[in-house]
Chain A
Amino acid sequence: GAGVSQSPSNKVTEKGKDVELRCDPISGHTALYWYRQSLGQGLEFLIYFQGNSAPDKSGLPSDRFSAERTGGSVSTLTIQRTQQEDSAVYLCASSLESSNYGYTFGSGTRLTVV
Chain B
Amino acid sequence: QKEVEQDPGPLSVPEGAIVSLNCTYSNSAFQYFMWYRQYSRKGPELLMYTYSSGNKEDGRFTAQVDKSSKYISLFIRDSQPSDSATYLCAMTGGGSARQLTFGSGTQLTVLP
A contact residues vs B (CB 8 Å cutoff): 4, 31, 33, 40-43, 45, 48, 50, 56, 59, 91, 93, 98, 100-108, 110
Chain B residues in 8 Å Cβ range of A50: 98
B contact residues vs A (CB 8 Å cutoff): 4, 6, 8, 31-32, 34, 36, 41-46, 49, 51, 88, 90, 92, 94, 98-105
- Bound: A101/B31 CA distance, A: 10
* 7 interchain pairs, CB-CB under 8 A: A42-B103, A56-B99, A59-B99, A100-B92, A101-B46, A102-B46, A104-B46
**B53: min CB distance to chain A, Å:** 16
Is B100 touching A43 in the complex (CB atoms < 8 A)? yes
- Bound: A112/B99 CA distance, A: 25
Kindly count the residue-residue contacts between A and B in the assembled complex, taking CB atoms under 8 Å apart.
60
Chain B residues in 8 Å Cβ range of A59: 99
- Bound: A15/B31 CA distance, A: 41
**A108: min CB distance to chain B, Å:** 5
Nearest neighbor of A105 in chain B, beta-carbon distance: B43
Is B104 touching A41 in the complex (CB atoms < 8 A)? yes
Is B44 touching A101 in the complex (CB atoms < 8 A)? no
